[in-house]
Homo-oligomer: A and B are copies of this chain.
Amino acid sequence: MTNPAPSSNPFVRKIEGFVSLTDEERTALAEASASPRTVKAGTMLVEEGQSPRGVHLILEGMAYRYKLRANGRRQITAYLVPGDLGDIDVALIGEMDHSIGTFSDCQVVRMSSETVLRLQEHAGIARGLRMGTLVDEATLREWLLNVGGRSAIERLAHLLCEVHVRLDAVGLTKDTAYDLPLTQTDLADTTGMSQVHVNRSLMELRRGGLITFRQRSMQILNLPELRRLAEFKANYLHLGVRSAA
């Protein structure tokens, strides 16, 4: 069976990682993501407490969900990579319970709920979007396990493995290398560690010959060993056979 060539649109590409689409559906997705706007690094797209205004779709760059504590501590709860979408049903709630910000300059589309509803009239797209929601939730569970149950170095290793797979699914890796526009502080707020300890743990991964990481460029030198260390299994991302290759 021959699949169509992977689309250059990461939204199309992500959904096609979950389900097969008709040409019509591919076109509908491409049209819905046709006119992105550029957002600078360090921008807040939405803030906790605001009422949600549309659904954000990331086409380029990297963004993240987070929550703040009163003492200023920030917990990052998700990364949004190209093709990723905010909660499709977010219009149902009165106010956001978390914020979304950008790590790097991004190309972002803000889709209205009506647009989302229109897209969901296509059966394939509807299934793909719901798969996306399931995977978001599964990823949160895995992050919870990561922070609750793994050691510092395992946590980082697992995170790096996950990002690798997710970027690979939308064609944004060069073999085992990828762009990771995060500071060590960002990694710390993701994994529930201090920045200093992230630094030391990264050093250990480097000394072990597992990775290099400088200038926001992540290079995995020994993927099998990194996965073994992290006990990484990609099943929770539900990429299925289509992307297994």
Binding site for B on A (CB under 8 A): 65, 67, 69-70, 73, 75, 77-78, 87, 89-90, 92-95, 97-98, 127, 130-131, 133-134, 136-138, 140-145, 147-150, 191-192, 231, 235-236, 238, 240
Task: Tell me the dominant secondary structure on chain A's binding face.
Answer: helix
Chain B proximity of A233: nearest CB distance (Å): 9
A–B pairs, 8, beta carbons within 8 Å: A69-B145, A69-B150, A89-B134, A93-B134, A94-B240, A97-B138, A97-B238, A137-B140
CB–CB A191/B148 < 8 A: yes
A69-B231, A98-B141, A144-B147 as given contacts; A238 in contact with B131, CB under 8 Å = no
Residues of chain B contacted by A192 (CB below 8 angstroms)? 147-149
Residues of chain B contacted by A65 (CB below 8 angstroms)? 141
CB–CB B138/A92 < 8 A: no
CB–CB B238/A149 < 8 A: no
Alpha-carbon separation in the docked complex, A108 to B80 (Å): 36
Alpha-carbon separation in the docked complex, A5 to B209 (Å): 65
Closest-by-CB residue of B relative to A78 is B141
Closest-by-CB residue of B relative to A136 is B137
CB–CB A137/B134 < 8 A: no
Out of B73, B131, B140, name the residue touching A140 (CB < 8 Å).
Answer: B140
Residues of chain B contacted by A147 (CB below 8 angstroms)? 144, 147-148, 192
Residues of chain B contacted by A127 (CB below 8 angstroms)? 92
CB–CB B140/A75 < 8 A: no
CB–CB A138/B98 < 8 A: yes
A77-B141, A77-B145, A137-B136 as given contacts; A93 in contact with B231, CB under 8 Å = no
